[in-house]
Amino acid sequence: MKVDLYNQLMRAGRLGRRDVLKGMASTGALAAFSGVATGISARPVWAADNASLRAQILKIPGVGAGSPTDADWQKVGELCLGPVKEVVQEGEFAGVELTFMGLNNQNLHNFLFRGFLKPWEAYTGAKINWIDLAQADYNARLQQSIATQTVDFDIIEMGAPFEGDVTGRGLASVMPDWVKSIIDMDDYVGYLKAPVGTWDGKTYRVSIDGDCHTFAYRTDYYDNEEFAKAWAEEGDGTPWEPPTTWQMVQKHTKFLAGKKDPLTGLDAHGYLDPLKGWGGFGFYFLESRATAYAKHPDDPAWLFDPEDMKPRVNNAAFVRAIQDVMDVMSTQPPDQINADPGTTAFQQFLAGTGSMISWWGDVGSNARTSDSSVVGDVVGFRHLPGSDDVWNHRKGEWETLASGPNEAPNMAYIGWGVYVMARVDSDSKKQKAAWSAAAHLGGKDLSLWTSAYPSGFQPYRNSHFNYGEWEEAGYDRAFVEDYLGSNADSYNHPNAAIEPRIPGIFQYYSVAEDELAKGFAGQYGSAQETADAIAKAWEEITDQIGRERQVELYKASLGL
């Protein structure tokens, strides 16, 4: 769980230790009862075989009992060693040294891994050396290691977008079958299952996190009677309620221009578009506007043509998304052209400017915990809006689906995973050691703990979304259902838009940001011209990296 989410839940739930222990006891009892009364086949997935263990680790240190420490991480690591012990003998890896490269964000990530793996080291006899990186240094360090053939780590914590750079070059070790059985991959949420984590049918990734964009909106705007009355007069006849399609988002955004924010009394604004680049991450926000237009349910591809890597970023769907942004630029706060996604979420939306944004989980968690947030009690969540029609790229026409609006939640960044490098493959003992460490970190029971306590990771298994379990543990049910529910709906959506895991994907995003900035500043004649400029720059990157190989890897990443 992200730190802020944890704090938010604590504040929202006003938990006391006694409540928590009561909750834990109930959870254990409920789990035990479910198992006995309904039989294995009918048991909820989360209860699994380790209900008592799960209840036990959730008591470390106890929800609401302060931030976990290294001692707690070690305890959790020790308790969750069971699956490793089934396949590894005590002292089996004596003399083996492994190097683990990961992040040190917020004193989490590697710091937790150290604690979790300490009991593993003690049991197996292996030793782990650590390379801690700041987020900003991560990409450069990884790319340079790859390009200069100086991969000096055996295990890496890595985001799925980099899979093309690593697994696509054969630098990663293929996951052995015994690891698959330990980590229970069937429990992963829909989009984290293959092809994510796989290349050419081989599995490489132990997931430890999930990521996607969801839609956050201000509930007070939609509870406001004045707005409702004005919408009845000025609107299109639809009820005044949170928009479910981008067409409605556009209408609401235009409608709100010139009105006053019910909370702050300042100018009201609709959807906030971050118009400034953010080291490549800013492009995810155009994607979130475009996926409902561009991701057809019958076509796994939406950003490039899998046959030849021709960009789709200048097709009608993306041009419409760019045009949407341009159409509402005049309704945005002043200086919006200089607002990056961070500004949009934390300095604007949470501070009471604007009524709708797309963002990862942090906005939900910061809403009530951040000192600068004023929207804690008036924020709602759902998966990204859909579209009345969807662009069929192959047919070259807009289609209206019989099933209703097309929805395609953007799985922006996909989430962190643990990967083992191929350099351990030449030493079977080292290889087994590395994979058992990765399996330990991605274990099902341990992941319950990381989803419930500050860890830097989001829930990513179906077993993490059992709201009853959260409630029994003492969390606020309404918030969990709303906030985590929006994530769960996105993760398991059958038409989720998953980004291409090809080499250099952030290069494409970065150059797109530069061209979009020019387009938004009026330096191109139209949305189409802006999109064409992006497409041209993408073609150059593809040619530079190598088109044939990119095609091959793109197809592999799509599972084609």
- The phi, psi pair for 373, rounded to 5°, reads -85, 135
Can you read off the two tokens belonging to residue 371?
Answer: 């000192």
Q: Is residue 552 within the footprint of other proteins (CB under 8 A)?
A: no
The answer to whether residue 279 forms part of the interface with other proteins (CB under 8 A) is yes
Please tell me the count of residues contacting other proteins according to CB under 8 A.
46
- The nearer residue to other proteins, 215 or 508, going by C-beta atoms, is 508
Q: Which two tokens stand for residue 397?
A: 């026409």
Residue with Cβ nearer other proteins (20 or 378): 378
Closest distance of CB 163 from other proteins, Å: 12
Is 518 a binder of other proteins (CB under 8 A)? yes
Q: Is 510 in the site for other proteins (CB under 8 A)?
A: yes
* H or E element, residue 155: strand 155-159
197 Ramachandran zone, left/alpha/beta (phi>0; psi -120 to 50): left
Q: Kindly report the number of other CB atoms within 10 A of residue 55's CB atom.
A: 23
Residue 337 makes contact with other proteins by CB under 8 A? yes
Q: Pick between residue 193 and residue 549 the one whose CB is nearest to other proteins.
A: 549
Residues 6+ apart with CB under 8 A from 466: 44, 45, 46
277 is an interface residue for other proteins by CB under 8 A? yes
Provide the 10 A C-beta neighbour count for residue 539.
14
Interactions with other proteins, residue window 127-146 (CB under 8 A): 139-140, 143-144, 146
DSSP character string of 331-391: GSPTTGGG--HHIIIIIIITTT--SEEEE-THHHHHHHH-TT---GGGEEEESPPBBSSEE
Q: Which is nearer to other proteins, 274 or 454 (CB)?
A: 274
Q: Is 34 in the site for other proteins (CB under 8 A)?
A: no
Our CA dihedral for 360, 364, 367, 370, rounded to 10 degrees, sits at: -60
- Tell me how far apart the alpha carbons of residues 155 and 130 are, in angstroms, rounded to a whole number: 10
Q: Which positions from 145 through 204 interact with other proteins, judged by CB under 8 A?
A: 146-147, 150, 164-165, 169
> By three-state DSSP, how is residue 18 classified?
helix
Q: DSSP state, 174?
A: P
**Residue choice 340, 469, 471, 489 for contact with other proteins (CB under 8 A):** 340
Tell me if 506 contacts other proteins by CB under 8 A. yes
Q: Is 338 in the site for other proteins (CB under 8 A)?
A: yes
The minimum distance between CB 4 and other proteins, in angstroms, equals 20
Segment interacting with other proteins (CB under 8 A) among 13-21, 190-198, 278-286, 421-429: 278-286
User: In this chain, which of 504, 535, 551, 555 binds other proteins, going by CB under 8 A?
Assistant: 504
Nearer to other proteins among residue 92 and residue 200 (C-beta): 200
Nearest to other proteins of 172, 408 (CB atom): 172
61: preceding bond cis by omega (within 30 degrees): yes
Q: For residues 520-549, which are near other proteins according to CB under 8 A?
A: 520-523, 541, 544-546, 549
C-beta of residue 58 within 8 angstroms of C-beta of residue 450: no
> Which span sits near other proteins by CB under 8 A: 204-212, 397-405, 422-430, 515-523?
515-523
The angle formed by the CA atoms of residues 546, 134 and 369, to the nearest 5 degrees, is 120
State the minimum distance, in angstroms, from the CB of residue 499 to other proteins: 15
CB of 550: closest distance to other proteins in angstroms?
9
Look at residue 206 and give its three-state secondary structure.
strand
Nearer to other proteins, 91 or 170 (CB): 170
DSSP class of residue 173 equals P
- Among the listed residues 334, 274, 316, the one whose alpha carbon sits nearest the alpha carbon of residue 520: 274
Q: In whole angstroms, how close is the CB of 48 to other proteins at the nearest point? A: 40
Nearer to other proteins, 479 or 538 (CB): 538
Residue numbers at the binding site for other proteins (CB under 8 A): 139-140, 143-144, 146-147, 150, 164-165, 169, 266, 275-280, 333-338, 340, 347, 351, 353, 503-504, 506-507, 510-511, 513-514, 517-518, 520-523, 541, 544-546, 549
